[in-house]
Amino acid sequence: MNRRVFLKSSFATLALPALESVSSALPVSGVKASNLRPPMRMVCVGNSFGMYPEQFFPKEAGPNYQMTPLLAPLEKHRKDFSVLSHLDHDIKGGHFSVHSFLSGVKMGDAKGMPEGNITVDQRAAEHVGAETRFPSLTIGSEDGLHGGCHMCWTRTGVRVPPIPGPRELFRKMFINEDANAQEKAADNFKMRGTILDAVRDEAKSLERRLSGQDKDKLDEYFSSIRDVETNLELDKRWSKVPKPNAPFEEPQDRSLVEDIPVLYDLIAIALKTDSTRVASFEMAGTGFDTSFFGFSAGYHSLSHHGKKPENLEKLVEIELYQMQQLARFLDKLKSIREPDSNGSLFDSSIILFGSGMGNGNAHVNTDLPIILAGGGFKLGEHKRYPSERIKRVPLCNLYLSMLQRFGVETETFGISSGTLADLDFA
């Protein structure tokens, strides 16, 4: 399929292969059987309040940097990740700009951009299309300060809401519907098809009564119908493919902060079973309950530490926990061997950790904390990019490199000026 043609259709929400090719792309057993090379995966993890810069970024650049307190949990993976500094999107807005973390574009500015404020994960998901049951899995907090991270966006400017807890994620991934529910679902597909036919005709007749801007607006509705029809077709086909077996009992939802490990485990299994190749995980919200750490002050409150040592100590403990969990996730990916390959799941997964917030105390969205791991990149150092204003490198350059590595044929992403200099493959 020609990607460039696709790029021009600005209203498509998913880059789905033409329908004829869907059946051939569909696996027989739910797990793709005979690929010569393992498919590339992408995992993006973000939080709302950033990482305390003083204890996150190393002082020295290069491979021999002195470990910092917040990176310490990743010590054993030292050769397999890089920490990148002075990368950002050159925007302001504090909490209200955190949602641009993975796109480089604030939602208000999306209209002027060729691909809107699509995020790197959703761009990758478009590329995967119907090859997996879930083009992407977005996971994490639905709420939070000013709505939370709001991390994942489609090219039409719609936020993809996250799956809020392990229970729902587990059900989506593993629970096949019983015969009764399947019959109901089959009838539901028929109902939707009939309704779509009717409303398309309805829209055509409305269109004749409209002019100018109104007509353009109605175009959105027409492309929405096309999208829903495509999705419906895929849903129908996937509904006949059984889901993989559950590896453990259905987990109960606790608070997000307690559920981080099990959510990471489920992400690893989703990648392993090729249920999806793109996963995003946003950590914020009321679920990030600090009483888990025995604190009475909230996470947001602590991020406004005002440089008070007692606040900082607690903030760093919360952030450290996130890094420990990330380290554990990397362990997990390394422990899963890819079939028909010498490598592990880690080698074929591009992992990004970071935040749309640079320094939470100052509410700035510059100098974002960024960690890159896996994906077969040559890593293992602190890459310090220029901090002078005129020489700064857009973070979107990293995203472009990630997308190309993922297999997307594109020369631009968001506000990129090219691929990220000095990022090689191992």
Partner 1 sequence: MNSKQVLIIGSLLSCFSLVSNGSEEAKQTEHSEAAVFNSHMRPFLDEYCVKCHGPKKQKGERRFDVLEYPIADDNALIDFQDILDLLNLGDMPPEEETQPSSGERQVVVDWLTQAVGIAYESRTITGGETVLRRLNHREYFNTISDLFEMDMSMFDPTESFPGERMVEHQDNVGDTLVTSGYLLNRYMEAADKIVEKALPFEEKPEPQTWSFEGGFEQQSELNKRHTTAHGQRYLNIYEAPNTVRRFGAYAPLYEFADGVPVGGTYKIRTLAEAVNRFHSFNREKVTNDPAEPMLMQVIPGHQRFGSLHLPQPYAPDLGTFALTDDGPAWYETDAWLDKGFAPRFIYLNGSMNIRPAFREVNDLVLANPDPSIPEEDLKADYMAVAIKHGVIPHIRIHRVEVSGPFYNEWPTRSWKAIIGKGKFNPKKTRRILEAFADRAYRRPARKDEVNRLMRVVDVRVDQGLSGFEAMKDGLKAVLCSPSFLYLEEDKRSRSERLSDFGLASRLSYFLWGSMPDRVLMNLAKRNRLSRPDILKSQLDRMLSDPRSDRFVTGFLDSWLTLRNLGDAPPDREKFETYYAENLGDAMRRETELYTRNALDENLSVSCFLDSDFTFANEALADLYGIEDVKGDDFRRIALDDPRRGGLLGQASILTVTANGVDTSPVLRGVWLLENLLGTPPSPPPPDVEPLDPDIRGAESIRDQLTKHRETQACQECHRKIDPLGFALENFDPIGQWRTTYDGRVEIDASGELPTGETFNDIVEFKKALMTHKDAFTLALTRKMLAYALGRRIEIMDRPQIDNIMASLEDEGDGFRDLVHLVVSSEAFASP
Interaction of residue 191 with partner 1, rule CB under 8 A: yes
Question: 326, 73 in Cβ contact below 8 A?
Answer: yes
User: Which is closer to partner 1, CB of 23 or CB of 296?
Assistant: 296
Interface residue with partner 1, options 217, 293, 337, 409 (CB under 8 A): 217
Cα–Cα distance between 115 and 411 in angstroms, integer?
Answer: 13
Q: In angstroms, what is the minimal distance from the CB of 70 to partner 1?
A: 18
> By C-alpha distance, which of 419, 417, 408 is closest to 6?
408
Total binding residues toward partner 1, as defined by CB under 8 A: 71
The answer to whether residue 157 forms part of the interface with partner 1 (CB under 8 A) is yes
Neighbours of 389 (CB within 10 A): 7
9-38: contacts with partner 1 (CB under 8 A): 11, 13-14
> CB of 187: closest distance to partner 1 in angstroms?
7
Give the one residue of 25, 61, 113, 199 binding partner 1; rule: CB under 8 A.
Answer: 199
Q: Which is nearer to partner 1, 283 or 402 (CB)?
A: 283
Contacts of 49 (CB under 8 A, 6+ apart): 284, 299, 300, 303, 355, 357, 360
Letters for 359-378 (x = contact with partner 1 by CB under 8 A, - = none) are x-xxxx--------------
Phi, psi (rounded to 5 degrees) for 378: -85, 110
Three-class secondary structure assignment of the chain: CCHHHHHHCCCCCCCCCCHHHHHHHCCCCCCCCCCCCCCCEEEEEEECCECCHHHHCCCCCECCCCCCCCCHHHHHHHHHEEEEECEECCCCCHHHHHHHCCCCCCHHHHHHCCCCCCCHHHHHHHHHHHHCCCCCEEEECCCCHHHCCCCCECCCCCECCCECCHHHHHHHHHCCCCHHHHHHHHHHHHHHHHHHHHHHHHHHHHHHHCCHHHHHHHHHHHHHHHHHHHHHHHHHHHCCCCCCCCCCCCCCCCCHHHHHHHHHHHHHHHHHCCCCCEEEEEECCCCCCHHHHCCCCCHHHHHCCCCCHHHHHHHHHHHHHHHHHHHHHHHHHHHCECCCCCCEHHHHEEEEEEECCCECCCCECCCCCEEEEECCECCCCEEECCCCHHHCEEHHHHHHHHHHHHCCCCCCCCCCCCCCCCCCEC
Stretches 212-220, 256-264, 268-276, 413-421: which one binds partner 1 (CB under 8 A)?
212-220
Q: Could you say whether residue 141 binds partner 1 (CB under 8 A)?
A: no
Q: Is 165 in the site for partner 1 (CB under 8 A)?
A: yes
Of 23-31, 172-180, 207-215, 263-271: span binding partner 1 (CB under 8 A): 207-215
Window contacting partner 1 (CB under 8 A); options: 39-47, 87-95, 237-245, 402-410? 87-95
> For residues 208-225, b (16+ Cβ closer than 10 Å) or e, as one string?
eeeeeeeeeeeeeeeeee
Q: Of 13 and 100, which CB lies nearer to partner 1 in the complex structure? A: 13
Q: Does residue 183 interact with partner 1 by CB under 8 A?
A: no
Which window, 211-219, 269-277, 331-339, 395-403, contacts partner 1 (CB under 8 A)?
211-219
Which residue, 61 or 253, has its beta carbon nearer to partner 1? 253
Q: Smaller CB distance to partner 1: residue 53 or 244?
A: 53
Q: Choose, by CB under 8 A, the member of 40, 42, 160, 357 that binds partner 1.
A: 160
Instruction: Print the binding letters for residues 228-267 with partner 1: x by CB under 8 A, - otherwise.
Output: x-xx--------------------xx--------------
Among 4, 208, 240, 389, binds partner 1 (CB under 8 A): 389
Q: Does 69 bind partner 1 (CB under 8 A)?
A: no
Please tell me whether residue 206 binds partner 1 under the rule CB under 8 A. Answer: yes
- Least Å distance, CB 345 to partner 1, is 29
Smaller CB distance to partner 1: residue 197 or 331? 197
Q: Is 47 in the site for partner 1 (CB under 8 A)?
A: no
C-beta closer to partner 1: residue 41 or 305: 305
Q: For residues 18 and 36, which CB has a smaller minimum distance to partner 1 in the complex?
A: 18
When asked if residue 195 is in the footprint of partner 1 (CB under 8 A), the reply is: yes
Print the binding letters for residues 299-328 with partner 1: x by CB under 8 A, - otherwise.
-xx--x-xxx--------------------
Q: Is 187 in the site for partner 1 (CB under 8 A)?
A: yes
